Amino acid sequence: MTVSSIARAALLASAVAFPLHAQEPVTLVIANSQWLDALRGDSLWSVLKEYETEAPNVRLEALGVPSKDYGDRMMTEFGAGMGPDIAILQEGVFFALADAGLLVDVGEAVEGVELNATKDNGILDGVTLGVPWQRAVYALIYNADLVERAGVTPPTTVSELIASAQGVQAETGAIGFTSRHQISDFSGFYMDFQNWAYGYGVDWVDGDGNLTINTPEAAEAIAAFKQVYDARIIPIGDDMPTQRTRFKETQVGFSIDNSGGTLNIASGGAMDSGLIESMPLPFPHPGAHQQIYVAVNANSKHPDEAMAFLKWLVTPEAQAALRKASGPDALATDVPLDEAFVADNPWAPVFAELATDSRSVLIPGYEVETTQIMRPVMEAVEEVLVTGIAPEDALAKAQGRIDQMF
Amino acid sequence: MAYSSQSAQPVAVRPTTGGRPAATARLRRLLPYAFMALPVIYLAVFMFWPLGRQIWLSFTRTRLANPNRSEFIGLRNYERLFDSPDFYSALYVTLVYSALAVVIGVAIGTVAALALNRPFPGRTLVRAILLFGWAVPNVAAALVWLWIFNERSGVLNSIVTSLGLERISWLTSTDMALSSVLLVTVWQVAPFVMLVMLAALQSVPQEVKEAARVDGADALNIFRAVTLPHVMPTLQLVSLLVAVWSIRRFDIIYLLTGGGPIGSTSTLIVKLRQVAFENHDLGLASAYGVIGLILALLVAAIHAAFNRRRQKGQS
């Protein structure tokens, strides 16, 4: 055997072992509205960038889109046969894209991985279309310093919430309570309101799959929200980013917010995160959560590389790194909260506990149509708030409109 | 005479080949089409094709995430539209909003132009300040006004409460929301009207005004008999523009109120966005768009009719 034939054989062997395409540089575009979040966005992205050391031929590129436009943009881009390779999607958009057949089966990426219950809605008709990214559950948070200065107690019911928030306002001059309350922020408003609805035992759908909008539970939930609205403890007209900034600047007593929002409040503001406390929602039943999935675009030119990325994402190392950047959000696998993080953020463990029995903001069986159904419902809520019409009458109108749709 | 002596000279004519004049003539005939080609292609690609596509979509069942998988359903979307109370509410809001935007915006803009047409110290500065509203991008303007309207910490309510009055829910009450949106609209539109009307006013012949003054006409009569007829075509045109812009205005309304409260500011275009992106129903959303288009065309037709009548009157 000559030297040249040995060299040729070695070259051939290396080509078989390392196929050319595996070495070609590939750019995976990953879209997420969270990339634009102050501090949290950078932390999350730096976790993902670690993948580049695992797969040197892959370069990750972040596509940050403001959360208000994110769903519309993803729907439009995916529908037009374009879009990022990988998208981190709120459950509602995830279901709509899955329904349109625009997501890739990613079951192979999670084979043999013990995922927790957050995986459930990512599996449609037995096909895994989404890998859980985060589950942001809601809780009641408060500024412990303001509460102490006002001499009020953390509330466990809505009437206690009103009394405590009024106490904070009267004694400290701060805002009593913040909550989304305007239809101009429809998407966030309906998701936040699901806490009130679920908290009062609303199901929106009966055992036969019929939409049940006008129920005593729903009327009770709206009446409770109206009580809070009328108590002049909410800064009417403030959008959610403004309300969160006010909380960050120690100007708010109480708020109902999700774990992601609370992490935002606790990061990089005037407020010491150790002063934020949390507790279960002041309702008889558990509240809601926003589930976020990672999905691969069916239009992606690099589905194999995207799949390999997802495989890495659910490894214990990646999940542990993600835990540090995700605050108390539930992840795809059960990763306990970091002790140092909990010491700095005493509000975090309550969120982790609440994630075990919270419910999706989407209506079971009507996941794709939830926003369409919730529009008349939220307009009924708004009508009650603004005009004082009885919740039952407003809900009856909403039920009529929804019955016409389906 | 130089002219006749020159024309008497024999003129040397270059012999031509038979095809060249014909080619030049053909080129001359084609030249206008060549000049028009670019704008025609632009309009075809960016206007007529999307417009045609929208009209086609309004006859189909099309989901947002699957725009290429449409099912033709005839007039079903229009049936749904005309059966829906939401449509009539959106149409009513659109008509009221557009009419008021035209009447108030054009009136204020015209009065401002009349005032600024007279010389006074600092006129250039005042013009620049008044144009500010037009120069600010719509999104930025809406965000600034959101703060001004803020119920708790907005400037307007600071003034209101300093007068000993109750805070006003500028954007969150059904009584005030449309008026507040109109206020922002007029703030943006009136400077444009002012600018255009100012240009028209400056072209009114001074000698005609002087003649009227010499004939004993007072300021009001001069305005009625000289100025107004002269600026009327501009006034009509600017009204048409404001009306069409108001029918299709989205950003200011969406950012200020999102169509609420209780649909009190939900125009056809805001509704279109809701149906397309919340309900994912491109077919029905396109039907909303077609109705908006018809409205705009109606306004343009009314403008054309007025124009024709005026021209007839003049002839």
The confidence band for B19, taking pLDDT boundaries of 50, 70 and 90, is: low
Query: Whole-number mean pLDDT of chain B?
Result: 89
Instruction: Name which of A121, A97, A177 is nearest A330 in CA terms.
Output: A121
Same domain, A109 and A227: no
What percent of chain A lies above the pLDDT cut of 90? 82
* Judgement on whether residues A191 and A272 belong to the same structural domain of the protein: yes
Q: What is the pLDDT of residue A101?
A: 93
Lookup result for tokens 């009447």 = B103
CA distance linking residue A406 with residue A396, whole number of Å = 16
Q: pLDDT higher for B99 or B65?
A: B99
- Cross-chain residue pair B258–A72, CB shorter than 8 Å: no
Bridge partners (DSSP) listed for residue A81? none
| Interface predicted TM-score of the whole assembly (ipTM), two decimals | 0.80
Q: Give yes or no for residue A345 having a pLDDT over 90.
A: yes
The one-letter amino acid code at A259 reads S
pLDDT (tens digit per residue) in A27-56: 999 999 999 987 889 999 999 999 999 999
CATH number of the domain residue A68 falls in = 3.40.190.10
Domain check: are A79 and A155 in the same one?
Answer: no
pLDDT tens-digit readout, A235-263: 988 888 889 999 999 999 999 999 989 98
Regarding whether A227 and A282 lie in a shared domain, the answer is yes
pLDDT of A22 strictly over 70: no
| pLDDT, position A146 | 97
Strands A276-279 and A131-143: antiparallel
- Which contacts qualify for B131-139: CB closer than 8 Å, 24 or more apart? B131/B191, B131/B194, B131/B195, B132/B191, B133/B187, B133/B188, B133/B190, B133/B191, B134/B188, B134/B189, B134/B191, B134/B192, B134/B195, B135/B191, B136/B188, B138/B188, B138/B251, B138/B252, B139/B251, B139/B255
Assessment of whether the complete model's pTM goes beyond 0.80: yes
Among A359, A376, A397, residue at a domain's last position: A359
Q: How far is B103 from chain A (nearest CA, A)?
A: 27
Q: Same domain for A56 and A170?
A: no
Closest CA to B62 of B289, B291, B272, B280: B280
* Cα-Cα-Cα-Cα dihedral sign, residues A121, A127, A130, A131: positive
* A331 phi, psi to nearest 5 deg: -105, -175
pLDDT at residue B4, rounded to an integer:
44
Between the CA of residue A172 and those of A151, A179, B30, what are the distances in Å?
10, 19, 80
Residue B12 has a pLDDT of: 54
**What number is the average pLDDT over the span A207-235?**
96
DSSP track, B168-195: --TTTSTTTHHHHHHHHHHHHHHHHHHH
Residues of chain A contacting residue B279, judged by C-beta atoms under 8 Å apart: 369, 371-372, 375
Check whether A121 has a pLDDT greater than 70.
yes
Q: Does residue A218 form part of some domain?
A: yes
Closest Cα in chain A to B253: A184
State percent of chain B over pLDDT 70: 94
- DSSP code of A214? S
Q: What is the pLDDT of residues B150-188, one digit of tens each?
A: 988 899 999 999 999 999 999 989 999 999 999 999 999
Residue A280 has pLDDT above 90, yes or no: yes
Tokens of B149: 């309207």
All residues at 6 or more sequence positions from A13 whose CB lies less than 8 Å from its CB, including other chains: none
How far apart are the C-alpha atoms of B69 and B78, rounded to whole Å? 20
Tokens of B34: 């060549």
Choose from A69, A184, A297 for mutation: most chain B CBs within 10 A. A184
- pLDDT tens for each residue of A360-387: 999 999 999 999 999 999 999 999 999 9
**By three-state DSSP, how is residue B309 classified?**
helix
Q: Examine the pLDDT at A15 and tell me if it is beyond 80.
A: no
User: Can you give the residue ranges of every domain in chain B?
Assistant: 76-314
A229 and A372 in a single domain? The answer is yes
User: Is residue A353 domain-shared with residue A369, that is, in the same domain?
Assistant: no
Residue A117 — very low, low, confident or very high, per pLDDT cuts 50/70/90?
very high
Domain span holding position A108: 6-136+290-359
Which of A159-163, B9-13, B183-187, B273-277 is predicted least confidently? B9-13
Distance (Å, rounded) from C-alpha B96 to C-alpha B246?
Answer: 10
Per the structure block, which two tokens stand in for A299?
């239009």
Write the burial class of residue B49 (CB in 10 Å: 0-12 exposed, 13-18 middle, 19+ buried): exposed
Q: Are residues A259 and A311 in the same domain?
A: no
Interface check for A117 against chain B (CB to CB < 8 A): the answer is no
Which among A402, A371, A348 is positioned nearest to A194, based on CA atoms?
A: A371
End of a domain among A325, A340, A359? A359
Average pLDDT across chain A, whole number: 91
The Cα A319–Cα B151 span in angstroms is 44
Count, residues in chain B: 315
A383·B172 Cβ contact <8 A: no
Rounded to an integer, what is the distance from CA A393 to the centroid of its chain? 32
Q: What is the pLDDT of residues A134-176, one digit of tens each?
A: 999 999 999 999 999 999 999 999 999 999 999 999 999 999 9
Examine the domain organization and report whether A214 and A307 are in the same domain. no
Domain assignment of residue A1, yes or no: no
Top pLDDT among A17 and A292 is at A292
Q: Which of A236, A299, A377 to mutate to test the interface with B (most CBs of B within 10 A)?
A: A236
> From CA B226, how far away is CA B220, in angstroms rounded?
10
**Alpha-carbon distances of B297 from A74, B50, B66, B244, B268, rounded to whole Å:** 33, 17, 30, 9, 15
CATH of domain B76-314: 1.10.3720.10
User: Is the pLDDT at B141 greater than 70, yes or no?
Assistant: yes
Q: What pLDDT is recorded for position B209?
A: 86
Total domains in chain A come to: 2
**Residue-wise pLDDT tens digits, A76-94:** 999 999 999 999 999 999 9
Co-location of A252 and A144 in the same domain: yes
Does the CB of A375 have a partner CB in chain B at under 8 Å?
A: yes
The answer to whether A387 faces chain B, any CB pair under 8 Å, is: yes
Instruction: Give me the pLDDT at residue A253, please.
Output: 97
Structure tokens at A43: 């932390």
Look at residue A214 and tell me if it is in a domain: yes
Residue A156 shares a structural domain with residue A294: no
Q: Are residues A263 and A162 in the same domain?
A: yes
